[in-house]
Structure 1
Amino acid sequence: MSAPRPVPAWVVVADVFAKVLLLLAVARVALDPGWGNLEGKAPVARAVTYPMLALLVPLLHALRALRARGRPPAAGERDRPYPWGGDLLVTMPAFSDLLGNRLDLYDRVVWFDDAIHLVNTAALSAGVLLLSGAAAAPLLQRLEVAVAAGLTVSLVWELWEYFAFVTRSAESATAYADTLGDLAPGWVGAVLAAGLVRAPDGTSGPAAHRWRGEKVEA
């Protein structure tokens, strides 16, 4: 088994930078929703759920390390590095949504909402591909994973928006059309992620080898 390629330093810096700015931003939004242009858009709910999303990968990685204690490591676990790339991709949607609202791009730029749904769904789908090891799979299997993950996340987001603030806002009359308009670019983003994300040679870890069809010892 070849050693995994080192993670570029800029990915680590970008991931840490995005998390720090996100935590500072949600703290400011919780105190002053007007700062983030989030009046009537569930600012408190965003201040709670966005850090949860940003800390999801570190938490899962820590839990996996705890489970691995006291037993022989499985194939590929010894040299399996922290998934900085996947972590950054999962953090990006929360960070970009707060930034877009802070700059008032959702109201000032007509196409920004569609673009952010495409980009954020692509980022989350790509993150799932990398974290699950499916980035090492053939294109058809990458499509299956990316579309399933991307549309599931998009649906969860639309349900979150609906119950968090849409039912109590002026957007309730156009919620159906807006939801369809958000899911469509999300699907495109998931397909793009499947086509663009491909694990390079040297990818290691049990998940990656399962997708390649190789036998992994328990």
Structure 2
Amino acid sequence: MGLLNNSTSAVTSDAVLTDLGREFLSLNDGSFSIVKFGLGDSEVSYDIIQKYGRTIGKEKIEKNTPVFQALTDRALAQKNKLVGISNPNLVYMPTISLSLAGSTVTSVALTTAGTVTTSTVVIEQRTSATAIQVDPDLVDEVFLITMRDDYLFIPASSPISKDPDGRATYSMQRTGALNSFGGAILNFTIQTKTLSDAQFNLFDGRAIVEVVGTKSGALTQFEVTITKT
């Protein structure tokens, strides 16, 4: 959804269904139902508040900020989603990080040949301050994991959606108890698909996996490097 005209007190909005939404609507079996919506602020520069103060800065943001038109690609529509938080004293937003064998990493290495290989990764939610716990309102119970469907998949799981660009999204519940920060932990396994030489040469053995916490909005991306032997 995007604003078309905010020059007056009346606000006109432009709302479109995403490609996935149109896919569900086209089923025409009565299952399509809009039950919630999300808001984002990708266009807003909050430096304006610091420069002009809260009152004038708010007015400048509301009246002068150019707003993106509505996009049908859900991967692009909302990069910076807003979240509702009841704690007025919240200082630290949670982050999520990737670890292998107890060490924080930024990439995962896999090998594919006649057989495929797997790697179990751990996603942990925490804050940037050692002594600060994750706010209970922001503990993620569910994570969305997106990856290229033609290269990678999560064994024993089915994606909840696939977009026209070949990205598959999986929905996974957090794993067991919370960590020492009071944050969620997610364990999942990535597995390579059997790749032809043509497929492998097309993406040069590199693929990006994205993980998003559905409640906190925290996001991390990591690279999977695949070696073909």
The TM-score normalised by the length of structure 2 is 0.25
Q: Report which structure shows greater RCO (CA 8 Å, sep ≥6).
A: 1
Looking at secondary structure, tell me which structure has more strand per residue.
Answer: 2
Tell me which protein shows more helix as a share of its residues: 1
TM-score by length of 1: 0.26
Structure with max Cα Rg = 2
